[in-house]
Structure formats: C-alpha cells, structure tokens
Structure 1
Amino acid sequence: MRHILEAIQSLTSSGGSATAVSADFEALALPESYRAVTLQKEETDMFAGLDSRDKDPRKSLHVQDVPVPELGPGEALVAVMASSVNYNTVWSSIFEPIPTFHFLERYGRLSPLAERHDLPYHVIGSDLAGVVLRTGPGVNAWRPGDEVVAHCLSVELESSDGHNDTML
C-alpha cells in the first residue's frame, strides 16, 4: 500500500506540479485485499424487535480485509483517502428500513456481472474523496491518477451535469 500512497502524495508534491502521471497509476501493483468497514449478511436480524433508537451501529460494524474487486463496465477503482458517516451509513448499520443485502441480492440476479455484488458482507460508505487507480471499460471521463469525489447523490453519468438536479 505504501507505493500507492507515495504515488498519490506525488500529485501534490512541492511546487504544486504532479510528478506521477496516469501511466504511473496504471502501472501500480494493486493489493489483493484492502481494509474496510463492513456489515455481515448473517447479522441482519441482530436488532430484531428493538426500537430504532436502541439499535447500536457499533455492534454491527466490522473492520476486516476484503478482496479488491474486479472492475466491470462503467466502474472505477478508487483509493479512498477520506470518507464520512452519513445517514446512509447509519441506516445500513441498523438494517433499516430494510437490510441493504436485500437490494444487493436483487441486483445480483440481473446478470453474472451484477452477481459479484451479492456477497456475505457489504462494504459501507457512500461518500468519499480519493484517487482513481483503475477504470473499467466504458469509463471515458476519468483516468488513473484523477482526484475524485463520490457521494450518495452520484448518478450513472460521467459529467457534473448529472448533479444539477439533486432530486435525481
């Protein structure tokens, strides 16, 4: 991981000019796994019968190493440098209004490519700032080395135009 961090730090090297370029990021060896905060599918009923106010997210959140996923069309692999806890994180962690695993199972039935999202764990988080490490087929607006922000209002567009209407 140190080599990825060093490449990212070179983006803001002294003098403000980046020393790493897209090809440098494409050439970086990726780890087999990364550390993530997860929910476990087997625990979706752990708060059954409790009022929302009595559900403690600290009991359902786990820190574990998970495999780096293979990229599909329209996807990007981002080295997350900052993330946040928002209402999506809290709802997911208390399995309300329904467990996110239900959505991931339904999505997984759409195609073999989507099936890889139906896992026994769910990496939480919907807001991040980071640097693109790889892009999948069909991603044209971003390249490895680009600094990006993703949030819960992200849509399937590669342009900021997709964010003009927050009701999307």
Structure 2
Amino acid sequence: MTQAIREAILASGENGPLTPREAANLPLPESYRAAVLRREDTEMFAGMDSAAKDPRKSVRIEQVPVPELGPGEALVAVMASSVNYNTVWSSIFEPMPTFGFLERYGRLSELTRRHDLPYHVIGSDLAGVVLRTGPGVNLWNPGDEVVAHCLSVELESSDGHNDTMLDPEQ
C-alpha cells in the first residue's frame, strides 16, 4: 500500500469516512509489500517433525505486483492482518503446500490462472478499506471499511466434508 493510500485512509478517520469517489480515485501502486511463501521452498522442511519447522525460515517479505481485478473481486487496502493457524500451516507446508490448491484453481479458467504463481501471499484475515471493485460486485463499494477471512468452501464434493482443507474448491 502506498503512503498516499495509507495517509488518506488514516485521515478519513478524523474527517469522516472516505467517499466512494475519493477511494476510487486514489492512485494504485504497481506493487506492494507482502509476506509470501515461495513455491521453490515447499520441500525445505522435508523429513522434519512439525514442531521443528520454523515459519521464520519460509516466510519472506517481498514486493509483489498489485493483481488485476477480476469479476466478483474487490481490491482492499489492508490495514491489519493476522497470523493464525492457516498462516502457520501454510508456512510449514502442512498438511500440504498451498501451491497445489492454487495450481488447481488456476486451471479452472483464464481468469483464475493468475492465481497460479511462484509465490503465495499469506495472511488469512484482514481489516481494510475497499479501493476498487470488479464487475458483479454489488454489495461493496470503494471506501467501505471491511473485514474478511479466507474460508470459501462449496462442500459440493465429499472430499471436504471431514476436512475442508481437502475440498477441491477450497
């Protein structure tokens, strides 16, 4: 998130919320700083007990491109994010690396292909402000303050009924 976006959001707390127009007119950066996992690191803990796996060795802080906004999606300026069990499991590549899920998702369509990357931005819960919305987003607008979590499981397949992490749509 650029300094200008951060300053506009923080100032909005003092001056009232950002209007949809103000939020939508904030210039977007080409990239942002994120905590990421790299596909090439998925075997770094091979053969180790779970308790010996240190997430500090796999999590990297990198500049990554701001993603293209697709239908049904919103671009959110993240003001707070959490480290929880999803983050820890992802960072030690258990019960399996998240790259397999992202690769399968990437095969669904041309649009989802952009999620099959050599890195995975981690952080599964957030609080922030909507900056842009894609086609088909009707309940959220630029300027809206939101909280979000990562769970999206259709449960149409029996694979996920006992463990939602194994659901093919997770």
The number of equivalent residue pairs is 154
Once residues 81 and 129 of structure 1 are traced to their aligned partners in structure 2, the CA distance between those partners, rounded to angstroms, is: 6
1:55-95, Cα deviation, whole Å (9 max, x unpaired): 11000000000000001111111000001100000000000
Q: Of 34, 58, 71, which residue of structure 1 is paired with 2:69?
A: 71
1:7-39, Cα deviation, whole Å (9 max, x unpaired): 21232115xx33x31111111110000000000
Corresponding residue for residue 100 of structure 1: 98
Corresponding residue for residue 116 of structure 1: 114
Corresponding residue for residue 11 of structure 1: 12
Once residues 13 and 50 of structure 2 are traced to their aligned partners in structure 1, the CA distance between those partners, rounded to angstroms, is: 44
Q: What SS class does the counterpart of residue 14 from structure 2 fall into?
A: coil
Corresponding residue for residue 142 of structure 2: 144
1:98-123, Cα deviation, whole Å (9 max, x unpaired): 00000000110111101000000000
Corresponding residue for residue 24 of structure 1: 22
1:10 maps to a residue whose letter is A
Once residues 130 and 105 of structure 2 are traced to their aligned partners in structure 1, the CA distance between those partners, rounded to angstroms, is: 25
Once residues 152 and 6 of structure 2 are traced to their aligned partners in structure 1, the CA distance between those partners, rounded to angstroms, is: 25
Instruction: Tell me the TM-score normalized by structure 2.
Output: 0.86
Once residues 102 and 13 of structure 1 are traced to their aligned partners in structure 2, the CA distance between those partners, rounded to angstroms, is: 44
What percent identity do the matched residue pairs reach?
72
Once residues 109 and 68 of structure 2 are traced to their aligned partners in structure 1, the CA distance between those partners, rounded to angstroms, is: 15
Any stretches of 5+ residues in structure 2 without a counterpart?
155-163, 165-170
